[in-house]
Amino acid sequence: MIIVLRLNHRRIRDKRVSTHVGLVSRALGADKIIYTGDDDTGLFNSIKSVVKNWGGAFNAGYASDYKRVIIGYKKKGYLTVHLTMYGLELEKEITKLRKAKNLLIIVGGEKVPADVYELSDLNVSVTNQPHSEIAALALLLDHYYKGNELNLKFKGGKKIKPNPRGKTFY
Amino acid sequence: MIIVLRLNHRRIRDKRVSTHVGLVSRALGADKIIYTGDDDTGLFNSIKSVVKNWGGAFNAGYASDYKRVIIGYKKKGYLTVHLTMYGLELEKEITKLRKAKNLLIIVGGEKVPADVYELSDLNVSVTNQPHSEIAALALLLDHYYKGNELNLKFKGGKKIKPNPRGKTFY
């Protein structure tokens, strides 16, 4: 199982970024996302409607306390991996991630509490440059799956037929 | 040269997503981003301040007419590649991208005009599932560079020293 924990969602400011984090998690092979911060019905409805229309069994949940989530999954044997530009290089840590059967990937928001760096088993960077937690998550999942996640099939839902010039469905 | 063309930026709604598109372009090895839509000083200032603080020679520009940009770069011999979930699979097209010396990568916004599908040399998808243009751009650049862009060095600016537990600079 791969679970993504998105920290400190703010209903207005993070609406689109948090939605992207959720949809990237689903499209690239995570099983579930848990949001902390604002409990945002609109955000859950966006994710649910994508799952309904496009298939698969992806789940979105809410938790008020990130510490309990991280500690809880550690107790269940998950490797907890915090994405931060200050962390160790992804490529040097990727085999540890692949060896773990179950991953909790922690994706920060604007300000990450200091204890997240301590609670996580690993702090991992996708470049040490400022860019985007959405991109960092996508690259982590892609490297973890060695690109195979790009061919994931989702049961039920609409199916696009790749088209050189327009929009077609199977 | 790799240039990213971000279509139809809207000052309020797309503030953060368009910033992420710019920072991902820079961090993962593109040379320049051109925005169409709103001419947004705040957005340019965000990008410029990252370049100033973190180094390198990344550029951000504005154009009012996306068609002229696409046609202009085609005339200069650039391969123009439109990222869309409806396009051909990235993995099947990636050698064409690598063979091209110069790329214009077109990143759509909420609604992409139909002629973008016609004007582009290639319409390429990063999965045929809905997710994020930020993630799609990151994966395109990462696959294009075969992961080597993760070790890019940027001249001047701050340098993070990868740290297992906190934030350190060289």
- B89, B132, B165 member nearest A118 (Cβ): B165
CA B142 to chain A, closest CA, distance in angstroms equals 8
Tens of pLDDT along A137-152? 999 999 999 999 999 9
Query: Which three-class secondary structure state does DSSP give residue A1?
Result: coil
- Residue B109 pLDDT greater than 90, yes or no: no
Q: Determine the 3-state secondary structure of A87 from DSSP.
A: strand
Q: Which tokens hold the place of A33?
A: 């996302």
Residue B105: its pLDDT value, please?
99
Across the interface, do A165 and B123 touch by the CB < 8 Å criterion? yes
Question: B28 to chain A: which residues are within 8 Å by CB?
Answer: 127, 131, 135
Taking only the tens place, the pLDDT of each residue in A19-32 is 999 999 999 999 99
Query: Is B129's CB within 8 Å of A20's CB?
Result: no
Chain B residue with CA closest to A159: the answer is B128
Residues in chain A within 8 Å Cβ distance of B168: 86
* A110: contact with B, CB 8 A cutoff: no
Is the pLDDT at A110 greater than 80? The verdict is no
Q: At A25, give phi and psi (nearest 5°).
A: -55, -50
| pLDDT at residue B110 greater than cutoff 80 | no
Edge-to-edge strand list for the sheet holding B79-89: B59-62, B32-37, B2-9, B103-107, B79-89, B122-125
pLDDT (tens digit per residue) in B144-165: 999 999 999 999 999 999 999 9
- Give yes or no for B89 touching A (CB within 8 A): yes
Residue whose pair of structure tokens reads 């037929």 in the numeric block? A161
- Chain pair A-B, CB pairs under 8 angstroms: 158
pLDDT at B11: 96
A145 at interface of B, judged by CB pairs closer than 8 A: no
> Do the Cβ atoms of B117 and A13 come within 8 Å?
no
DSSP secondary structure code for residue A8 in this structure: E
Which pLDDT band holds residue B111 (cuts at 50, 70, 90)? Answer: confident
Q: Which of B56, B57, B53 is nearest to B169 (CA)?
A: B53
How open is the CA angle B140-B142-B147, to the nearest 5 degrees?
160
Contacts of B99 (CB under 8 A, 6+ apart): none
Inter-chain CB proximity A27 and B88 less than 8 Å: no
Nearest to B116 by CA among B12, B36, B60, B29: B36
User: In chain B, pLDDT over 70 holds for what percent of residues?
Assistant: 100
**Distance between A64 CA and the closest CA of chain B, angstroms:** 24
The reply to whether residue B164 touches residue A88, judged by beta carbons under 8 angstroms, is: yes
Q: Under an 8 A CB cutoff, do B127 and A154 touch?
A: no
**Option in A90, A138, A163 nearest B87 (CB):** A163
Q: What is the pLDDT of residue A52?
A: 98
Q: Which residues contact A148 (CB under 8 A, 6 or more apart)?
A: none
- A76 CB neighbour count, 10 Å cutoff: 10
Query: B119 at the A interface (CB within 8 A)?
Result: no
Over range B86-108, report the average pLDDT. 97
Contact check, Cβ <8 Å, A150/B24: no
Question: What does each C-alpha distance from B56 to A111, A126, B27, B150, B158 come to in angstroms?
Answer: 25, 18, 10, 15, 11
How far is the C-alpha of B83 from the C-alpha of B86, rounded, in Å?
9
Judged by CB atoms closer than 8 Å, whether chains meet at B147 and A152 is answered as: no
Distances (CA, A) of A136 to A88, B20, B112: 13, 11, 25
Q: What is the pLDDT of residues B23-73, one digit of tens each?
A: 999 999 999 999 999 999 999 999 999 999 999 999 999 999 999 999 999
pLDDT digits (tens, 9 = 90+) for A17-75: 999 999 999 999 999 999 999 999 999 999 999 999 999 999 999 999 999 999 999 99
